[in-house]
Amino acid sequence: MNYLAHVFLAPDSAECRVGSILGDFSRGVDLSALPSKVQKGVRHHITVDVFTDSHAEVLASKRVFSPQRRRFSGVALDVLYDHYLLRHWQSFSSASCDAFVHQVYQELQHNEHLMPAPMVKMTRHMVRHDWFGAYQNLGSIGDALDRVAERIRFANQFAGIIDEIRANDVQLEHHFLNFFPQLQNFARQT
């Protein structure tokens, strides 16, 4: 899952939500030096990723992509699933999406002292450019994925994957809608 889904599914505290993103930045970090709720958020992130990576609907989504792009399908789905979460927000939450996003952005800004430097840099960029707002637009998802493709250090055919997403949007969305309620129930129990 990507950042929006992780903070959405995290236990309800600012420190847990910070930890839920820190899960992608934890290499080399002494987690034991962090508050227990941040540690809980990191563990939650890892558990959610393990559940997601082995789920039948996610595996089916990966098979939708062409063989030359399938290697990167997990990355594409992470970002795309944030888009679908935003598209269907009211199905998964009674809270206002805008209020939740604003709250998360504030929590990230107020808790930079809990983050390693690369995470501070990324979250500042996230807030400044309103990634979650941008993820409501499928074109912005394509732009984000093309930026990821540019950072891959070897020749690849990841750029332009948005074309395959657009061509298979209904099927991919269907897989997400079958998957996400199960993930939400799993995350509540974790």
Q: What is the model's pLDDT at position 177?
A: 98
DSSP the chain: --HHHHHHHS-SSHHHHHHHHHTTS-TT--GGGS-HHHHHHHHHHHHHHHHHHH-HHHHHHHHHS-HHHHTTHHHHHHHHHHHHHHHTHHHH-SS-HHHHHHHHHHHHHHTGGGS-HHHHHHHHHHHHTTHHHHTTSHHHHHHHHHHHHHH-SS--S-TTHHHHHHHTHHHHHHHHHHHHHHHHHHHHH-
Residues (pLDDT < 50) of the chain are: none
What does pTM read for this prediction?
0.94
- Model confidence pLDDT, tens digit, residues 31-74: 999 999 999 999 999 999 999 999 999 999 999 999 988 888 99
Q: What is the model's pLDDT at position 116?
A: 95
Q: What is the model's pLDDT at position 148?
A: 83
